[in-house]
């Protein structure tokens, strides 16, 4: 009996969310061939069932959040919360939906069927909980804006401090993580209050669900890893627009992000070193850690290497921007192993980089290690904070925002200190 393609995909989602990656893959492959799992050949079953035992690391794969277009059937998708999709066997799959696996993954990655990396497990907050709006003190503004260029349009929020409304000292571009938005990220990081104290404006670009179903920045797409193309060109355009408005130069401009936003911050620092004086990467990944959805999952698990600066021909000999890294040691969504790749890229220009290490205890009771690597001029070029017992969450963030750990050292405070130290 044939499967309806949409029903098969929903079964695959259930398996993926249960972290049974092998079963989900088998269902998808069978559906793309127009067959049920029971119709597989003996050789196919043997090949699948003889796979090596799954290790805990393999089970850390973040589930896919998939929206399947309505099939050529009168049955409507079952959307009742907490209930499994009904068996829709007996409906013939539409011929137009029988595609090779590589073609299906390409369509999904491009957003036509809206597949995204998320929601992410192991977080302290929930990206879908009720949103809070950040408080705006008298004299300050939290503006809603939009920027358009050849690569597309993105909205963004801009915090303008009361302390330096007309002549701010600088700009921080904050890139949210999956399942977040500018308001939520502003609340969780408390960056507006820190910017107010230092007279900075803060920009919060917003990813669209049409570009990524889980509102993740597409840091893993080759087309979104290049200068003057894709999402980097949009984010650079937002940055330049604000720089021109407030007459800021590169020494006053910084970029930071969480998770997918942290990975995109790494992209921006590598592709636009002329725009940003420093970058902050929280629970993120190194530039070019992945080149598609599947390699992104592998990179998040810490199973793939990273591109060395010698391999990045479009970067040339430009030294990397100063970098501060935060990562939770208990992060099972983006493996702490990814920190090595970030540090390698950030210190590649420093001969025999030697770090000063210290251990500390946050006011909330979290222990951490902090490494400081000086640059050729003796100033702090790289800082790395590894926070014990923190998962995939913004260290020291506010409980009102999603994906935060209020007990850790305050990443926002430390990032701003690092940005201004040079």
What is the predicted pLDDT for the residue at 35? 56
Q: Which of 113, 129, 156 is the last residue of a domain?
A: 113
| 319 and 362 within one domain | yes
Question: pLDDT tens-digit profile of 268-289?
Answer: 999 999 999 999 999 999 999 9
What average pLDDT does the segment 17-37 reach? 62
What average pLDDT does the segment 183-209 reach? 98
Is the predicted pLDDT of residue 99 greater than 50, yes or no? Answer: no
Question: pLDDT tens-digit profile of 136-165?
Answer: 999 999 999 999 999 999 999 999 999 999
Q: Is residue 152 in a domain?
A: yes
Question: Which residues lie below 8 Å from residue 116, measured CB to CB, with a gap of 6+?
Answer: 64, 65, 178, 212, 213, 214, 215, 216
| 162 and 71 within one domain | no
What is the predicted pLDDT for the residue at 102? 53
Q: Is residue 121 in a domain?
A: no
Tell me if the pTM is above 0.95: no
CATH code of the domain containing 173: 3.40.50.1820
Question: pLDDT tens-digit profile of 214-270?
Answer: 999 999 999 999 999 999 999 999 999 999 999 999 999 999 999 999 999 999 999
| 412 and 314 within one domain | yes
Residue 353 structural domain = 141-420
Containing 186, the helix (H) or strand (E) segment is helix 182-189
Count of structural domains within the chain: 2
Residue with more model confidence, 231 or 69 = 231
Q: Is residue 118 in a domain?
A: no
| 229 and 368 within one domain | yes
| 84 and 145 within one domain | no
| 91 and 230 within one domain | no
Is the predicted pLDDT of residue 177 greater than 80, yes or no? Answer: yes
What is the predicted pLDDT for the residue at 108? 46
Containing 15, the helix (H) or strand (E) segment is helix 5-17
What is the predicted pLDDT for the residue at 34? 63
CA dihedral 166, 171, 172, 175 (to 10 degrees): 90
Question: pLDDT tens-digit profile of 121-133?
Answer: 333 444 444 568 8
What is the predicted pLDDT for the residue at 16? 61
Q: Is residue 119 in a domain?
A: no
Q: Assess contact for 188 and 204: CB atoms under 8 A.
A: no
Least confident of 177-191, 347-361, 394-408: 347-361
Q: Is residue 358 in a domain?
A: yes
What is the predicted pLDDT for the residue at 375? 86
pLDDT, averaged across the chain: 79
DSSP secondary structure code for residue 224 in this structure: G
The DSSP secondary structure of 43-109, one letter per residue, reads HHHHHHHTSPPPPTTGGGPPPEEE-PPPPSSSPPPP--TT-PPPP-TTPPPPGGG---HHHHHHHHH
| 91 and 161 within one domain | no
DSSP secondary structure code for residue 233 in this structure: H
What is the predicted pLDDT for the residue at 405? 98
What is the predicted pLDDT for the residue at 101? 52
Q: Which of 93, 113, 133 is the last residue of a domain?
A: 113
Measure the CA angle with vertex 103, ends 98 and 104; round to 5°.
Answer: 60
The DSSP secondary structure of 319-383, one letter per residue, reads PPPEEEEEEETT-SSS-TTHHHHHHHHHHTTSTT---EEEEEE-TTS-EEEEEEEE-TTSSEEEE
């Amino acid at each position: 009996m044939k499967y309806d393609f949409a029903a098969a995909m929903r079964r695959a989602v259930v398996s993926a969310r249960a972290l049974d990656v092998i079963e989900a893959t088998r269902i998808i492959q069978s559906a793309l061939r127009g067959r049920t799992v029971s119709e597989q050949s003996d050789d196919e079953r043997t090949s699948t069932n003889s796979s090596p035992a799954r290790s805990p690391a393999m089970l850390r794969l973040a589930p896919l959040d998939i929206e399947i277009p309505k099939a050529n059937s009168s049955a409507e998708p079952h959307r009742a919360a907490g209930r499994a999709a009904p068996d829709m066997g007996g409906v013939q799959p539409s011929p137009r939906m029988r595609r090779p696996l590589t073609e299906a993954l390409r369509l999904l990655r491009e957003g036509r069927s809206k597949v995204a990396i998320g929601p992410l497990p192991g977080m302290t907050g929930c990206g879908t909980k009720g949103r809070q709006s950040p408080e705006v003190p008298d004299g300050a503004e939290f503006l809603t804006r939009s920027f358009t260029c050849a690569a597309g349009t993105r909205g963004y929020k801009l915090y303008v401090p009361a302390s330096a409304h007309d002549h701010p000292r600088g700009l921080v571009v904050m890139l949210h993580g999956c399942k977040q938005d500018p308001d939520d990220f502003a609340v969780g990081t408390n960056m507006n209050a820190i910017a107010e104290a230092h007279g900075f404006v803060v920009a919060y670009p917003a990813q669209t669900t049409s570009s990524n179903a889980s509102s993740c920045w597409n840091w893993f797409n080759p087309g979104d890893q290049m200068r003057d193309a894709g999402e980097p060109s949009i984010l650079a355009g937002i940055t330049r627009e604000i720089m021109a408005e407030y007459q800021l130069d590169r020494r006053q401009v910084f970029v930071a992000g969480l998770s997918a936003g942290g990975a995109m911050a790494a992209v921006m620092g590598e592709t636009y070193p002329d725009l940003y004086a420093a970058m902050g990467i929280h629970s993120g990944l190194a530039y070019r850690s992945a080149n598609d959805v599947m390699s992104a999952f592998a990179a998040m698990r810490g199973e793939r290497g990273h591109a060395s600066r010698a391999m990045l021909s479009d970067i040339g000999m430009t030294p990397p921007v100063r970098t501060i890294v935060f990562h939770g040691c208990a992060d099972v969504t983006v493996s702490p192993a990814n920190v090595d790749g970030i540090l390698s890229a950030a210190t590649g220009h420093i001969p025999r980089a030697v770090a000063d290490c210290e251990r500390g205890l946050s006011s909330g009771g979290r222990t951490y290690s902090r490494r400081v690597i000086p640059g050729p001029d003796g100033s702090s070029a790289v800082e790395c904070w590894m926070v014990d017992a923190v998962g995939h969450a913004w260290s020291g963030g506010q409980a009102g925002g999603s994906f935060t750990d209020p007990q850790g050292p305050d990443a926002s405070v430390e990032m701003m200190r690092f940005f201004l130290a040079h």
